[in-house]
Amino acid sequence: MRITVEQCPLCGGSAFEPFEKHADPAGELAYVLCPRCGLVLQSPRRSDKALSEFYAEGYRTSVQGTEAATDKDLRIQAGRARHLVEFCSGAVTSVSRHLDIGSSSGALVRAVARAYGSSGLGIEPGAGYREIAKQHGTQTIADLGELDPSLRGTFDLASMIHVLEHLPDPVGYLRQLRERWMAPGGRLLVEVPNLFGHRGTELAHLSVFSPRTLRQTLESAGFRVLKLHAHGAPRSPVLRLYLTALADWPAGSQAVRRMVYSSRGVRGRRRLGIWLHDTLTERLPNWTWRELPAPEEAGS
One DSSP character per residue, 247-300 reads EE--SS--PPPPP----TTHHHHHHHHHHHHHHHHHH-HHHH-PPPPPPPPTT-
Query: What average pLDDT does range 164-184 have in this prediction?
Result: 96
Per-residue pLDDT band for 253 (boundaries 50, 70, 90) equals very low
What does the radius of gyration of the chain's CA atoms come to, in whole angstroms? 19
What's the confidence (pLDDT) of residue 257?
63
What's the confidence (pLDDT) of residue 300?
46
* The pLDDT of residue 212 is above 70: yes
Q: Which residue has the higher pLDDT, 235 or 48?
A: 235
Q: Are strands 97-101 and 119-123 parallel, antiparallel or unpaired?
A: parallel
User: pLDDT over 90 for what percent of the chain?
Assistant: 80
What's the confidence (pLDDT) of residue 250?
79
Per-residue pLDDT band for 26 (boundaries 50, 70, 90) equals confident
* The pLDDT of residue 62 is above 80: no
Query: Which CATH architecture does the domain made up of 50-249+257-288 adopt?
Result: 3-Layer(aba) Sandwich (3.40)
Backbone angles phi, psi at 155, to 5 degrees: -85, 115
CB atoms within 10 A of CB 2: 13
Mean model confidence pLDDT for the chain? 92
Q: Which residues on neighbouring strands pair with residue 244, listed in sequence order?
A: 191, 229
Q: Which residues on neighbouring strands pair with residue 30, listed in sequence order?
A: 21
What's the confidence (pLDDT) of residue 299?
43
Per-residue pLDDT band for 1 (boundaries 50, 70, 90) equals confident
What's the confidence (pLDDT) of residue 258?
67
